[in-house]
Structure 1
Amino acid sequence: MRNTRSDSGAHTSLLIDASQRVMFDPAGSFGHETIPERDDVLFGFSPRIEAYYASYHARLTFYVVAQKVDVSPEVAELALELALSNGAVPNALCTHATSSLVSRLPGFESIGVTYFPNNMMDDVARLPGVETTVYRENDSEDKSVAAAAIDAQIRTGQ
């Protein structure tokens, strides 16, 4: 997530598509009673929930930069194992936790361990085959407004 005014990084997370599709969301605030979570790992992260996640974060003051890198099933399973064994992450350490995890994966040794989301994003952008997508919305600056809208969508099955 990046600030629309300064372009500074604001949050980092990692979607892992392994034997389970999860979001490693260290020190994150996204959640819903229907989405199981354990120690900053959100389970059952379907494409629909992924869209909710992006919408929750994208608003007038922030936008989402998603970077996708295809990996082997073995690398995906290792990422899942590392996320599940990581434990809960304290506030403000999201990028450090994510970059520490990713840098341990085969093929990602060039990712530097950092506290700064933009530094990690730049490292990932240099990987071969990375696909980047930007999500922007003009919702209220108040995340609780997006959370209420997402809650209503989840409850009605939209």
Structure 2
Amino acid sequence: MNRRQFLIGTPFVLSACTAREVWAPDTLVSQYIYREEGPKYLTLYTMKNVGSDNGAHSALLINASQRVIFDPAGSWEQEQMPERNDVLFGVSPRLESYHVSFHARVTYYVVGQRIPVAPDVAEQALNLSLAAGPAPQGSCSRFTSRLLRQLPGFESIGQTWFPNNLSDNFETLLGVETREYRETDADDKDIAARAIEAELSMRQ
């Protein structure tokens, strides 16, 4: 996959916006838990249409006592990232990049906005994500913005149904770093999913 990354400079996988209950067993979740040493942070992901720049989906990477992606109404499925009601576990940087790559294609690109947070704020975000889902179809930004606005320092985030509104609000926060992720894959996420699955199988 051809990936180009651009640092836009000012505070970084996403999925199509359905409510379904998913509950991976404890044994699977504990097997794939991923922890990252160092500073804690959140990354808001927004998938946008290449032609119109309209936002299509929101998701939130949470680096707390473990690394997860809160992906309300998302379509990503991967055994190495078990899911519990819109929370994806086992999010190593490598799997995070695959998650982004799954969504970036010739017709859509991904914007990632990363902001450092205190450990207790990251942990609060993790706990809120675990209690939030599952989200019904089309409510990805509503669920993500509702989670964020409950965190200390994020009270200015307005609850919204629209990914671009959420991204614009998030951009005003102090310390945000923004990146774009673009690829030239065909406009078919199933093709990307199969290619990613093949790569992951070879690396196991």
Would the TM-score normalized by the shorter structure come out above 0.5? Answer: yes
Structure 2 CA distance for aligned equivalents of residues 42 and 132 of structure 1: 22
- Structure number with the higher helix fraction is 1
CA shift, 1:148, in A, is 0.6
Normalization by structure 1: what TM-score? 0.98
Structure 2 CA distance for aligned equivalents of residues 17 and 93 of structure 1: 23
**Alignment counterpart, residue 11 of structure 1, candidates 50, 57, 60:** 57
Residue 147 (1) aligns with residue 193 (2): yes
1:16-95, aligned counterparts within 5 Å?
A: 16-95=62-141
Aligned residues of 2:80 and 2:90 also touching (Cα < 8 A): no
Residue 109 (1) aligns with residue 155 (2): yes
> Deviations 1:68-118 (Å, cap 9, x if unpaired)?
000000000000000000120011000000000001000000100000000
**Alignment counterpart, residue 168 of structure 2, candidates 112, 122, 132:** 122
Gaps of 5+ in 2: 1-46
What is the RMSD of the two structures over their aligned residues, measured on CA atoms? Answer: 0.8
Structure 1 CA distance for aligned equivalents of residues 137 and 104 of structure 2: 20
Match of 1:69, SS state, is strand
Match of 1:148, SS state, is helix
**Alignment counterpart, residue 177 of structure 2, candidates 131, 147, 151:** 131
Aligned residues of 2:62 and 2:68 also touching (Cα < 8 A): yes
Aligned AA (2:90):
G
> Deviations 1:35-72 (Å, cap 9, x if unpaired)?
21000000010000100011000000100000000000
Aligned length: 158
Structure 1 residue ranges (4+ consecutive) displaced by more than 4 angstroms after TM superposition: none
Structure 2 CA distance for aligned equivalents of residues 127 and 113 of structure 1: 15
Aligned residues of 2:105 and 2:185 also touching (Cα < 8 A): yes
Percentage identity across paired residues of the two chains = 57
CA shift, 1:153, in A, is 1.1
Residue 156 (1) aligns with residue 202 (2): yes
Structure 1 CA distance for aligned equivalents of residues 146 and 80 of structure 2: 29
- Structure number with the higher strand fraction is 2
Aligned AA (2:159):
V
Normalization by structure 2: what TM-score? 0.76
CA shift, 1:33, in A, is 2.1
Structure 2 CA distance for aligned equivalents of residues 26 and 157 of structure 1: 28
CA shift, 1:34, in A, is 2.5
